[in-house]
Structure 1
Amino acid sequence: MILPIVAYGDPVLRKVAKDITQEYPKLEELITNMWDTMYNAHGVGLAAPQIGLPIRLFVVDTTPFSDDEDLTKEEQDALNGFKKVFINAKIETETGKEWDFNEGCLSIPDIREEVKRKPEITIQYLDENFNPHSETYDGLLARVIQHEYDHIEGILFTDKLSSLKKRLLKNRLDKISKGKIDVEYKMKFPNIKKGR
């Protein structure tokens, strides 16, 4: 089932999400719905807060990035078919020299900005079967995971911009929260009476 994506301005996007257990109600169905919602919106990642749930769960599928001709064959191969569920994730380390990449977010449609992030991360998480993993990722894989991880920490990519950039974007962000934007997927806007 395709769920509405929560728009910028909703308080749930600012909460530090809580860990969940295997007993979380209808978890398998929730994960399926998150995949459906993400693919419907042409995203490569979706975190539970983006569908209104303040829990430590996000999904990532970087396959759409794998046909980028600017990437090496090795980078394309790493991105192609990378599809994972991250539960109760904790980034342990972020290392290397920060690099810029143009990021966007399904909760902040039509805004893309250059964001600095470290190129390599080590992350601990549970998969959908609650098996524990500790893995290291770099490049675009690391970046997509960092972006989704930020969501479960109550952080948005716009928080990482300069104060000047934030001021320049303020009106556009206000319009998004009020639903004054055309989007091709279902969204829930915090600052209008009726959702769409």
Structure 2
Amino acid sequence: MQGEPVNSFPRLAPEAERGEVRRITVVGEEILHRRCREVTEFGSAELAKLIDDMFATNQVAEGAGLAANQVDVDLQLFVWDITDDWGVRHVGHIANPVLDEVPAEHRRLVEEPEGCLSVPGPYRVVPRLDRAVVRGRDKDGDPLVIEGRGYFARCLQHETDHLRGHLYVDRLAQRERKAALREMRDTQDEVFARRAAVARQLGK
């Protein structure tokens, strides 16, 4: 939890239990395509509420992580609730994240399918580093360092990209990007219906 191991954790994170579901922005909306503002006010009830709502929204959408601009908030903040390749669950949030540069001798790219809650439906193969270290602050302004490998590393890179105004489809060749967006248009209604069904099941 938040970079520290715990003995047990509920299936539904307490933040998701408390939070309300917000609308997820979709590729093409302006807020997804520009760099977000840094978080400057820590320890506020508003920031805590936003984090709770992001966890609830991510839970309903069955996501691994969610950035603030995906709920139409212009802040450098993301949350995650993800089980990695080794069966370890990671739950947390980070504000103003900065990815460490990985030395060339330790850079290993892995090509795996990747999706996005703001591109509902399609998955495409995207190369990502198999290890990531991200530094930032928690909701109270305390320094935070999170390290991930494999799928969790992919999540940390994907969400940090969001806060810079980039989506995974921006990493695709033009033809592949167009194909992914066509697929999204064909499948998004089904995805939205599934999210609504999960929300009803959770009483959200």
Q: TM-score normalised to the size of structure 2?
A: 0.76
Determine if contact 1:91/1:124 at 8 Å carries over to the other structure: yes
In proportion to residue count, which structure has more helix? Answer: 2
Structure 2 distance, partners of 1:166, 1:135, is 30
User: What are structure 1's unaligned runs of at least 5 residues?
Assistant: 187-196
Structure 2 distance, partners of 1:159, 1:93, is 21
Cα deviation, 1:32-62, whole Å, max 9, x if unaligned, reads 1111111011111000000111210000111
Shift of 1:89: 0.6
The structure, 1 or 2, with the larger RCO (C-alpha pairs under 8 Å, 6+ apart) is: 1
Structure 2 distance, partners of 1:40, 1:91, is 28
The alignment-based identity, stated in percent, is: 26
Structure 1 match to 2:170: 159
Question: What is the identity, as a one-letter code, of the residue corresponding to 1:84?
Answer: G
Question: What is the identity, as a one-letter code, of the residue corresponding to 1:185?
Answer: R
**Residues 104/180 of structure 1: CA separation in 2 closer, same or farther (3 Å cut):** closer
Q: TM-score normalised to the size of structure 1?
A: 0.79
Structure 1 distance, partners of 2:52, 2:181, is 34
Structure 2 distance, partners of 1:146, 1:180, is 24
Question: What is the identity, as a one-letter code, of the residue corresponding to 1:30?
Answer: L
Structure 2 distance, partners of 1:25, 1:40, is 23
Structure 1 distance, partners of 2:145, 2:135, is 4
Determine if contact 2:61/2:195 at 8 Å carries over to the other structure: yes
For 1:62-77, what aligned pairs fall within 5 Å after superposition? 62-63=82-83, 66=84, 71=85, 75-77=86-88
User: What are structure 2's unaligned runs of at least 5 residues?
Assistant: 1-19, 197-204
Shift of 1:93: 1.4
Shift of 1:3: 0.4
Structure 1 distance, partners of 2:146, 2:54, is 23
Shift of 1:16: 0.3
2:57 corresponds to 1:47: no
Structure 2 match to 1:185: 195
Determine if contact 1:115/1:161 at 8 Å carries over to the other structure: yes
Structure 2 distance, partners of 1:136, 1:36, is 24
